[in-house]
Amino acid sequence: ESSELEDDTEGLSTRLSGTLSFTSHEEEEEEEGDGASEELEEPPQAPGAAAGTEDGGRCWGEWVSAAERPGGSLLTRQLQELWRRSRGSLAPQRLLFEVTSASVVSERSSKYVLYTIYLIRSGQFDKAPATIARRYSDFEQLNRRLRCRFSCDMASVAFPRKRLRRNFTAETIAKRSRAFEQFLSHLHSIDEIRRSPEFLEFFFLPDLQAAQRLTCTGMYREALATWANAYRLQDRLGVCSSGRFLLTLAGLAVCHQELDQLGEAHGCCEQALQLLEAQGSHPLLGPFLQAHIHLSWKVGKDKRRSEARLQDLREAGLPLQQQPSLKECLIKEPLE
């Protein structure tokens, strides 16, 4: 990844919000000078625009023009009331993407920038935010895959072009960071793209793969943190009824149980069984029921309903003796 972004940022957001931290594991190239870190202040924005809505600027402009019309002056509290009433008519962006840091990483034969991105629900505070770390080539691959499948929808989506030099200056990294924020926000605003496997798996598939590897090698504490982040990512993206999410709950349950956190493991099984309530058969239904019964006995919870459901599966002819355990299902599941 020797080249990344063109200086030409036409079509990209020029908003430089928040404070980005730039860190490197070694001395930067001579061309970077003293720009290893800098604070980027956000210019004033209209309330609607700050919420990430398309209508934000238009609505605010209407309020300003109404206040400036002769004889049409509005008091501050009237503007506030108008804003409060108008919020219901806007379509706020439910998910925000914010690059919080960018690190220059040097490996054997390559050097690249790793961007850390928070997924934030608009108007809410997350004690444990959902995060991803991606490099330019990851974004480029996502852009290429989506343009192959959604050529019409992607025609209006801007993506930062590559450049051959000055890749690691604070200014260039800041421009890329804002470009990637806008790129993800634009993708998320398009219904078909937002629901596509290409878009969704860009966020949580690497975490699932890493968590599975850690679980297989018995590194349960590290795996638990990774499963938990995959859980939060899927929750923010609104895909909490998918097979990937059930696998995530299985990973959480297994790691909690291995770490002797039986109450938490029991809760994960209960959540999975609620999602499987309407399904007569699912590869994970039997393993989740068996795990739930075992954990319910351990923590002193009612297990009769799970036992009844398990009996129904037996009567339906499911060979439960040959069913793998939840941990075996987790380890054998292909994640590609």
The mean of the pLDDT values for the chain is: 78
* 240 and 331 both lie in a single domain: yes
Q: What is the pLDDT of residues 217-240, one digit of tens each?
A: 999 999 999 999 999 999 999 999
Least confident range from 36-40, 188-192, 314-318: namely: 36-40
Which tens digit of pLDDT belongs to each residue from 256-302? 999 999 999 999 999 999 999 877 678 999 999 999 999 999 999 99
318 band by pLDDT with thresholds 50, 70 and 90: confident
Mean pLDDT, to the nearest integer, of 241-259? Answer: 95
Whether the CB-CB separation of 249 and 272 falls below 8 Å is answered with yes
Same domain, 258 and 188: no
Is residue 315, in this structure, part of any structural domain at all? yes
- Tell me, yes or no, whether 33 lies in a domain: no
pLDDT of 169 above 50? yes
> Which pLDDT does position 84 carry in this prediction?
52
Longest dimension (CA), the chain: 82
Q: Report residue 77 CA to chain centroid gap.
A: 37
Burial class (CB in 10 A: 0-12, 13-18, 19+), 185: middle
Does 312 share its domain with 223?
yes
In a shared domain, residues 181 and 210: no
CATH number of the domain within which 109 lies: 3.30.1520.10
Do 314 and 212 lie in one domain? The reply is yes
Q: Is the pLDDT of residue 325 over 60?
A: yes
Segment 36-64, tens digit of pLDDT: 333 333 333 333 333 333 333 333 333 33
Is residue 31 domain-resident? no
For residue 232 the two structure tokens come to 């939060």
Which domain CATH number covers 312? Answer: 1.25.40.10
Q: Which of 157, 172, 195 is the last residue of a domain?
A: 195
Phi, psi of 12 (to 5 degrees): -105, 155
CA–CA separation, 160 and 139 (whole Å):
10
**194, pLDDT greater than 80:** yes
- Are 186 and 215 within one domain? no
pLDDT of residue 322: 77
Give me the helices (H) in the chain, please: 47-50, 56-68, 76-86, 136-149, 151-154, 170-188, 191-194, 197-216, 220-237, 243-258, 262-275, 285-299, 304-315, 326-332
Mean pLDDT of 111-122: 93
Q: What is the pLDDT of residue 211?
A: 98
| Confidence at residue 328, expressed as pLDDT on a 0 to 100 scale | 94
pLDDT of res. 70: 44
**Which of 3-7, 27-31, 146-150, 255-259 is least confident?**
27-31
pTM beyond cutoff 0.85: no
**pLDDT of the residue at 223:** 98
Count of domains in the chain? 2
User: So what's the pLDDT on residue 108?
Assistant: 84
User: Does residue 34 belong to any structural domain of this protein?
Assistant: no
Q: Can you give the pLDDT at residue 13?
A: 40
pLDDT at res. 219: 97
What pLDDT was estimated at residue 81? 54
Q: Which amino acid is at 273?
A: L
Instruction: Identify the three-state secondary structure at position 89.
Output: helix
120 forms beta bridges with 96
Q: Which of 174, 195, 216 is the last residue of a domain?
A: 195
Residue-level pLDDT at 4: 43
CA distances from 168 to 9, 79, 164, 176, 284 (A): 16, 44, 11, 11, 46
* 150 DSSP 8-state letter: -
Measured CA to CA, the distance from residue 53 to residue 188 in angstroms comes to: 12
Tokens representing 243?
Answer: 């097979």
Residue 208 corresponds to which amino acid?
L
Residue 227 inside a domain? The answer is yes
71 belongs to a structural domain: no
pLDDT at 3: 42
Tokens read off for 229: 């982040």
pLDDT of residue 229: 98
Q: Is the dihedral of CA 231, 17, 43, 168 positive or negative?
A: negative
In this structure, the answer to whether residues 210 and 126 fall within a common structural domain is no
Q: What is the mean pLDDT of residues 141-162?
A: 95
| Residues 168 and 206 reside in one and the same domain | no
Structural domain range at position 148: 92-195
**Mean pLDDT (whole number) for 110-132:** 89
pLDDT at 50: 37
Q: Does the pLDDT value for residue 323 go beyond 70? A: yes
Q: Mark which of 195, 214, 232 sits at the end of a domain.
A: 195
Give φ, ψ of 47 to 5 degrees: -55, -40
